[in-house]
Amino acid sequence: MCGIVGYIGKGQAYPVLINGLNRLEYRGYDSAGVAMIPEKGTLNIYKAAGKVKQLEDSVKNCNIEGHVGIAHTRWATHGAPNKENAHPHCSMSGRLALVHNGIIENYGVLKDKLTEKGYVFSSTTDTEVLVQLIDYIYGAGDMSLVAAVQLALKEVIGAYAIAVIDRDNPDMIVAARKSSPLVIGMAEDGLYLASDATPIVEYTNKVIYLDDEEVACLNMDGTYRIVDLDNADCCHEAQTVAVNIGQLQKGGFPHFMIKEIFDQPECLADCMRGRVLKDMNKIVVSAVIENRDVLLNARRFIIVACGTSWHAGLIGKQLIEDFCRIPVEVEYASEFRYRNPVINEGDVVMAVSQSGETADTLAAIEMAKEKGAFIYGVCNVVGSSIARAADAGSYIHVGPEIGVASTKAFTGQVTVLTMIAMALAKEMGRADDGFMAKVIDELLSLPEKIKEVLAFDEYIKDIARIFTYVHNFIYLGRGYAFPVALEGALKLKEISYIHAEGYPAAEMKHGPIALIDSNMPVVVIATKTHLYDKVVSNVQEIKSRGGRILAVVTKGDTVIKNMADFCIEIPETMECMEPVVASIPLQLLAYHVAANKGLDVDRPRNLAKSVTVE
Ligand code: F6R
């Protein structure tokens, strides 16, 4: 969480910083701030509680000059989300300004030490402790800012991505990372710094991803040096990022979320491009081919993930077990990392993560790696921490997802997991040509099938109007549709603030059915699968207790149609691919309910896109 931007060079820093904060706002948006040095000896810091827009409004009559600056958009961890706690934080001497993403776990001890030395704090953040510590070390001896940062970071326990500027030395930015991402962009007009590449790509596609415990010094003349905490040089090859600016804009839609929902046909086509090869009747997943022996000899797979990605993992489990007969466990990364899980050499731990930065997922794979597991990453953000920590992996390639609620990344994850399962099944001799051809046809038809469902947008909008002001929802599904029910409920609750629960349909009679009355909308995924008749009975049970039923059914269904209050028909597909098609109407429903309520759909309260704190 929290987004960092920095710029040093020939241009003005402020426009780059504000533009960058707008791009990074998905990471946190409870306060924002900028710091610029217009001339040696002057440090201007402006902050505002609330979103980046509030910051922009508040600096209208201020001096925003300067060729060097840093900025931050916050998702509060320590201290309330107010102006005092907003970053950048300034040292008591007024000399240093610092922005930080992460958590300083031993900030209490450090704060006591600094208080004894006479430091006074004006915020309740852990970050202010860090800037005071650097200031203390910097002032105590004849040393460079880089050296002071290195010494300070050696005292720090926790996670950080930081950027520091010095009022009296305006020709550099010092940045460092540990467990929180930081990217440097190199362009003709200067050097850029950000939590991910999205604020940088409109200026340059040449980037370097800092590694843990590295410190970078970015200079006004365009040169830079990257060292470790002991000042040994670190070598990095510049990488080329391929993000298209159009993907970072709303393209005429009112919110990123609805744009991303409508982008899914194209995104899934991108995700499958070069991998699903109809002419050759092949699914090529390079990481599966390259690591064939490890994967084929795995005794089991463990999928670790959080939130929506965990739901994709539940579908991945069914796919891998169905296609490959390899046992798969699915774990919440946050639980897994703190249990003492049995992990043996030869286990494959698969991390599913859109951002590739989720702290719990990252920690889970680091732990599994230490215990000898082979780590396979399924990420969207190229060059992200999880992607780099993994032994192998497959990107989902659905482009940047900006809306906080995951939509296209979810369907992309499920599509990639389907391709991985099928590629593995082929290697294991478990997929004959006929089955392969069927899966390929179904995969390639997903974009068109999603388009068919998107055509119901207006109808779903009407349904959403009816349900906008209810207080509770239940989502039901079985088999492959159970994780879809969980995902539908999560989408609704996170953006509309309506309480929603997902259940396996047959579990209703073990308790939750007591909740059913005429005020309870129940969304049922009741498509034509091998469990269809069972689901019909479950729907009957709800109906006879007065529940209002909104059913997602297979095109042409008549039985459920006669029982449900509202029906959304989706095209038929293989059972294992239904999660992709059936989740689309649920995304639209959640979106329209939240939009009807006038909520900030792309930036729901209390959330952030990239959860880099545990
Ligand atoms: C919900 C959502 C979150 C994320 C979760 C994991 O819409 O987006 O539940 O799925 O925070 O994030 P990643 O996938 O980046 O690891």
- Same structural domain, 440 and 484: no
Ligand 1 atom with least separation from CA of 405: 7
Question: Residue 2: is its pLDDT beyond 90?
Answer: no
- Same structural domain, 27 and 104: yes
In a domain, 607, yes or no: no
In a domain, 609, yes or no: no
**Ligand 1 center–CA 151 separation, angstroms:** 35
Question: Residue 81: is its pLDDT beyond 90?
Answer: no
pLDDT score for 79: 78
Q: Could you tell me the pTM of the whole model?
A: 0.83
**Ligand 1 center–CA 395 separation, angstroms:** 16
Ligand 1 atom with least separation from CA of 305: 16
Strand partners, 193: 6, 184
What's the one-letter identity of residue 462?
D
Q: What is the mean pLDDT of residues 10-18?
A: 98
- Same structural domain, 326 and 460: no
Going by C-alpha positions, the residue among 341, 350, 343 that lies closest to residue 372 is 343
209 Cβ contact partners less than 8 Å away, ≥ 6 residues apart: 181, 182, 183, 236, 239, 383, 388
Q: Of all protein residues, whose CA lies closest to atom 9 belonging to ligand 1?
A: 307
- Reported as a single tens digit per residue, the pLDDT across 154-179 is 999 988 999 999 999 999 999 999 98
Q: Edge-to-edge strands of the sheet including 239-240? A: 42-49, 31-39, 68-74, 3-9, 190-194, 183-187, 206-209, 239-240
- Same structural domain, 112 and 255: no
In Å, how far from its chain's centre is CA 325? 30
Q: Of all protein residues, whose CA lies closest to atom 5 belonging to ligand 1?
A: 307
- Reported as a single tens digit per residue, the pLDDT across 369-381 is 999 999 999 999 8
- Reported as a single tens digit per residue, the pLDDT across 597-608 is 999 999 898 887
pLDDT band at 389, cuts 50/70/90?
very high
Going by C-alpha positions, the residue among 48, 39, 40 that lies closest to residue 21 is 48
pLDDT score for 575: 96
In a domain, 216, yes or no: yes
Mutation test residue for ligand 1: of 406, 414, 603, the one with most atoms within 8 Å of CB: 406
Give the DSSP letter string of 216-256. EEEETTS-EEEEETT--B-----EE----GGGGS-TT-SSH
Question: Residue 588: is its pLDDT beyond 80?
Answer: yes
Ligand 1 atom with least separation from CA of 410: 10
- Same structural domain, 460 and 435: no
Enter the tokens of residue 192. 């850029």
Ligand 1 atom with least separation from CA of 306: 6
Q: Report the 10 Å Cβ neighbour count for 525.
A: 30
Ligand 1 atom with least separation from CA of 404: 8
As a whole number of angstroms, the distance between CA 353 and CA 103 comes to 21
Mean pLDDT of the chain: 94
Q: Of all protein residues, whose CA lies closest to atom 8 belonging to ligand 1?
A: 406
Structural domain total, the chain: 3
Q: What is the mean pLDDT of residues 458-482?
A: 96
Q: Is 609 a catalytic residue?
A: yes
Domain boundary among 451, 470, 486: 451
pLDDT score for 361: 97
- Same structural domain, 475 and 360: no
- Same structural domain, 111 and 48: yes
pLDDT band at 180, cuts 50/70/90?
confident
Which residue is listed with tokens 């009741």?
526
In a domain, 69, yes or no: yes
pLDDT score for 250: 82
pLDDT score for 26: 76
Going by C-alpha positions, the residue among 459, 477, 469, 352 that lies closest to residue 413 is 352
**CATH number of the domain within which 215 lies:** 3.60.20.10
As a whole number of angstroms, the distance between CA 505 and CA 132 comes to 56
% of the chain at pLDDT higher than 90:
85
As a whole number of angstroms, the distance between CA 540 and CA 519 comes to 17
What are the respective helix, strand and coil percentages of the chain, to the nearest 5? Answer: 40, 25, 35
pLDDT score for 328: 98
**Ligand 1 center–CA 438 separation, angstroms:** 31
pLDDT band at 512, cuts 50/70/90?
confident
As a whole number of angstroms, the distance between CA 288 and CA 292 comes to 5
As a whole number of angstroms, the distance between CA 64 and CA 331 comes to 48
- Reported as a single tens digit per residue, the pLDDT across 525-569 is 999 999 999 999 999 989 988 899 999 999 999 999 999 999 999
Mutation test residue for ligand 1: of 611, 612, 613, the one with most atoms within 8 Å of CB: 611
Pocket of ligand 1 (CB under 6 A): 306-309, 353-355, 358, 361, 405-406, 490, 494, 611
pLDDT band at 141, cuts 50/70/90?
confident
Q: Kindly report the CA angle at 271 between 483 and 369, in degrees rounded to 5? A: 70
Check if the beta carbon of residue 180 is closer than 8 Å to that of residue 167.
no
Check if the beta carbon of residue 550 is closer than 8 Å to that of residue 524.
yes
Q: Of all protein residues, whose CA lies closest to atom 3 belonging to ligand 1?
A: 307
Question: Residue 583: is its pLDDT beyond 80?
Answer: yes
Q: Of all protein residues, whose CA lies closest to atom 11 belonging to ligand 1?
A: 307
**CATH number of the domain within which 503 lies:** 3.40.50.10490
Q: What is the 3-state secondary structure (H, E, C) of 462-531?
A: HHHHHHCCCCEEEEEECCCHHHHHHHHHHHHHHHHCCEEEEEEHHHHHHCHHHHCCCCCEEEEEECCCCC
Question: Residue 96: is its pLDDT beyond 90?
Answer: yes
Backbone angles phi, psi at 213, to 5 degrees: 60, 35
- Reported as a single tens digit per residue, the pLDDT across 209-252 is 999 999 999 999 999 999 999 999 999 999 998 777 777 778 78
251 Cβ contact partners less than 8 Å away, ≥ 6 residues apart: 259
As a whole number of angstroms, the distance between CA 568 and CA 549 comes to 11
Check if the beta carbon of residue 165 is closer than 8 Å to that of residue 89.
no
**Ligand 1 center–CA 566 separation, angstroms:** 29
Enter the tokens of residue 203. 């200026």
Question: Residue 612: is its pLDDT beyond 80?
Answer: no
pLDDT score for 463: 97
In a domain, 100, yes or no: yes
In a domain, 611, yes or no: no
Task: Report strand pairing: 31-39 vs 68-74.
Answer: antiparallel
- Same structural domain, 44 and 87: yes
Check if the beta carbon of residue 178 is closer than 8 Å to that of residue 153.
yes
Q: Of all protein residues, whose CA lies closest to atom 16 belonging to ligand 1?
A: 353
Going by C-alpha positions, the residue among 173, 165, 168 that lies closest to residue 219 is 173
- Same structural domain, 201 and 220: yes
Domain boundary among 194, 214, 243: 243
pLDDT band at 56, cuts 50/70/90?
very high
In a domain, 610, yes or no: no
- Same structural domain, 558 and 461: yes
- Reported as a single tens digit per residue, the pLDDT across 21-52 is 998 887 777 899 999 999 999 999 999 999 89
**Ligand 1 center–CA 302 separation, angstroms:** 18
pLDDT score for 260: 95
Tell me which residue range forms the domain holding 414: 244-451
pLDDT score for 580: 98
Check if the beta carbon of residue 82 is closer than 8 Å to that of residue 152.
no
Q: Is 449 a catalytic residue?
A: no
- Between these two residues, 345 and 78, which has the higher pLDDT value? 345
Question: Residue 610: is its pLDDT beyond 80?
Answer: no
Question: Residue 614: is its pLDDT beyond 80?
Answer: no
What's the one-letter identity of residue 500?
A
As a whole number of angstroms, the distance between CA 592 and CA 517 comes to 24
pLDDT score for 465: 96
**Ligand 1 center–CA 241 separation, angstroms:** 23
459 Cβ contact partners less than 8 Å away, ≥ 6 residues apart: 568
In a domain, 387, yes or no: yes
pLDDT band at 509, cuts 50/70/90?
confident
pLDDT band at 430, cuts 50/70/90?
very high
**Ligand 1 center–CA 345 separation, angstroms:** 28
Q: Which long-range contacts (CB under 8 A, 24 or more apart) does 543-546 make?
A: 545/513, 545/516, 545/517, 546/516, 546/517, 546/518
% of the chain at pLDDT higher than 70:
100
359 Cβ contact partners less than 8 Å away, ≥ 6 residues apart: 159, 179, 611, 612, 613, 614
- Between these two residues, 141 and 283, which has the higher pLDDT value? 283
Domain boundary among 410, 433, 451: 451
pLDDT score for 607: 82
Q: Report the 10 Å Cβ neighbour count for 471.
A: 10
- Same structural domain, 582 and 523: yes
pLDDT band at 276, cuts 50/70/90?
very high
Q: Report the 10 Å Cβ neighbour count for 10.
A: 12
Mutation test residue for ligand 1: of 304, 309, 486, 605, the one with most atoms within 8 Å of CB: 309
- Same structural domain, 428 and 491: no
- Per the residue annotation, which of 111, 259, 426, 609 is the catalytic one? 609
Question: Residue 107: is its pLDDT beyond 80?
Answer: yes
**Ligand 1 center–CA 404 separation, angstroms:** 8
